[in-house]
Structure 1
Amino acid sequence: MKTTEAIKNRAQPPLDHTTGLSYRQLASLAHGVERTIGPWQPATGRQKALSAFMAVVVTVNYLRRNDCQEAVGEHFLVSQSTVSRYIKKLEPVVSVLLDDLMARLRAAALAEALIVDGFLVLTGERKWFDGLYSGKRHDTGANLQAIATLRGRVIDLSPPLRGSVHDSRAFTDTGLDKAYKIHCSPQGPGMLGDKAYIGKVPVTPVRKPAYRDLTEEEREFNRSINSNRAAVERGISHLRNWRILATGYRRPLLYLYRTSQTVMKLEQYAIHPEEVSTVLRTSPLADS
């Protein structure tokens, strides 16, 4: 265990638990931001309240902790409106910076078997949206479909649907059935799902017939499927460590898809520290 003195003597700010990323990863994102949108601070006139690095920290901290923007502002000694502007401006930029990393991870995983599962992002009731209540999960929110590898890495997330939509229908309505058509074909690498995906993906548990119990072979098959399916649940739980997807999404639902994609990319970035330099190499203005 690190002592208090050791923590105080660290050469770099201890942001690992605040943001889920290392100082080097955050610095790389900040450099990528400036190479994408240009110099953060204006050459003349009023300077921004925070540096590009700290603005990235504010944005990632918000996604990681899901504190209200007023609390984030108090922590970083800026106003709520400043926090709101930084998040709105930098979230899409951070997402774009990590597009190449996500595309390569997804391409590498397409040759192997995958797992699909749905989860609920809590949103509360919204005035202009009906059907958010999920009878299965007994709460209100948006249904997201996650595609993960057998190692528990989430490589794709569907656009959000209302929480009342069944996972089987969501798999079709979001276009995942077409995007992963090869995995759902008999000749493909295969895709696993729970009983909600029977008839949608090739490998699912055996449903108990009304007229008999499951045989011992069928029970053993189901145990094997569920053992492998645990990987997608583990991957989803890692995504939900970014509390904006776990403790209540308060922003407009218009931004939920972009936010969920950004969180997925940040989670992959967090567990691939060797990819830090990639952010700079693949920045849209890296060659300018």
Structure 2
Amino acid sequence: MYHTAGLTRGRVEELCALIGEATGESVRRWPPVLGLSRSVVVTLAYLRRNRVQAELAETFEVSQSTISRAIAAVTPLLADILEHRIPTADDLDDRSSHMVDGTLLPCWSWSSRPELFSGKHRTTGFNVQVVCTLDGRLRWVSDPMPGARNDIVGLKASRILDGRDPSTWLGDKGYIGSGILTPIRKPRNREQPDWEKEFNRHHNSIRVVVERAIACLKTWRILHTDYRRPIDTFADAISAVVGLYFYAAE
């Protein structure tokens, strides 16, 4: 169960109970042929592995349209019931230092959404800002923004630094000018002295843990490989996965 859905059987059963309590007897949006439990497993397998729906249909011996209906029904339910488990900006401990980085959550290219194209990554998707502690524990994930926005724009839009002293935070060169401690940029008219190079090496060796935190979040492959469902459903998928990440870590 864990390798298929990313959760133990007990945690999956707990999720089913939470969904059942939240929806009540009168609302059953998942396909009857699958039922709630199998619909949840289907959706978790899709989010965890980004499996093709036709492949899931063969595995669960139903039609592809049934798999699609299950994912469409359960994903927003997961986002809703897990929302309160996701840390907010107010939950950050201001007595501690943090590291921040941005990452692109890729999706298919829609000609009607050119703002999703990231020049840095040369593909389309949504940008999120991620904050972790110095030992790599994920503490906050921003709302998604169009991929054309760079990291410092996304950080300012999230307002995560409002009322905070950013001088104790670490980030890469994409955050130069934000007050966050960043590597020293090499000027065009001179070589960097050895102390600047050493500072940058030391800074990068510390900051690598935020990249590992992002990699752990993206073990939910729906955030790592192209999102193929309608673009207006991606926000729910992102919220559901972030909620599942913190739910699994409890």
Q: Would the TM-score normalized by the shorter structure come out above 0.5?
A: yes
- State the distance in 1 between where 2:27 and 2:35 align: 8
- State the distance in 1 between where 2:216 and 2:101 align: 14
- State the distance in 2 between where 1:224 and 1:256 align: 37
- State the distance in 2 between where 1:233 and 1:227 align: 11
Q: Aligned-residue CA RMSD in angstroms?
A: 2.5
* Preserved CA contact (<8 Å) 1:160 1:256: no
Question: After TM superposition, what 4+ stretches of structure 1 lie above 4 angstroms from structure 2?
Answer: 108-111
Instruction: Report the alpha carbon displacement of residue 93 of structure 1 after superposing the two structures with TM.
Output: 1.9
The alignment covers a number of residue pairs equal to 248
When normalised by structure 1's length, the TM-score is: 0.77
Instruction: Report the alpha carbon displacement of residue 76 of structure 1 after superposing the two structures with TM.
Output: 1.2
Equivalent of residue 32 in structure 2, options 24, 33, 48: 48
Residue deviations 1:110-160 (CA, integer Å, cap 9, x gap): 542222212222223202111433332233333222222223233333333
Larger mean CA deviation between 151-160 and 52-61 belongs to 151-160
Residue deviations 1:157-185 (CA, integer Å, cap 9, x gap): 3333333332222222xx22x23323444
Larger mean CA deviation between 58-67 and 84-93 belongs to 84-93
* Preserved CA contact (<8 Å) 1:120 1:163: yes
- State the distance in 2 between where 1:271 and 1:164 align: 31
Match of 2:122 in 1: 138
Match of 1:222 in 2: 200
The answer as to 2:114 corresponding to 1:114 is no
- State the distance in 1 between where 2:179 and 2:51 align: 38
The answer as to 2:15 corresponding to 1:29 is yes
Residue deviations 1:175-213 (CA, integer Å, cap 9, x gap): 22x233234445xxx322100110114211111122332
* Preserved CA contact (<8 Å) 2:88 2:140: no
- State the distance in 1 between where 2:180 and 2:138 align: 19
Larger mean CA deviation between 261-270 and 151-160 belongs to 151-160
* Preserved CA contact (<8 Å) 1:33 1:93: yes
- State the distance in 1 between where 2:88 and 2:131 align: 15
* Unaligned 5+ runs, structure 1: 1-14, 273-288
When normalised by structure 2's length, the TM-score is: 0.87
Identity %: 35
Pick the structure with greater CA Rg. Answer: 1
Instruction: Report the alpha carbon displacement of residue 261 of structure 1 after superposing the two structures with TM.
Output: 2.0
SS at match of 1:121: strand
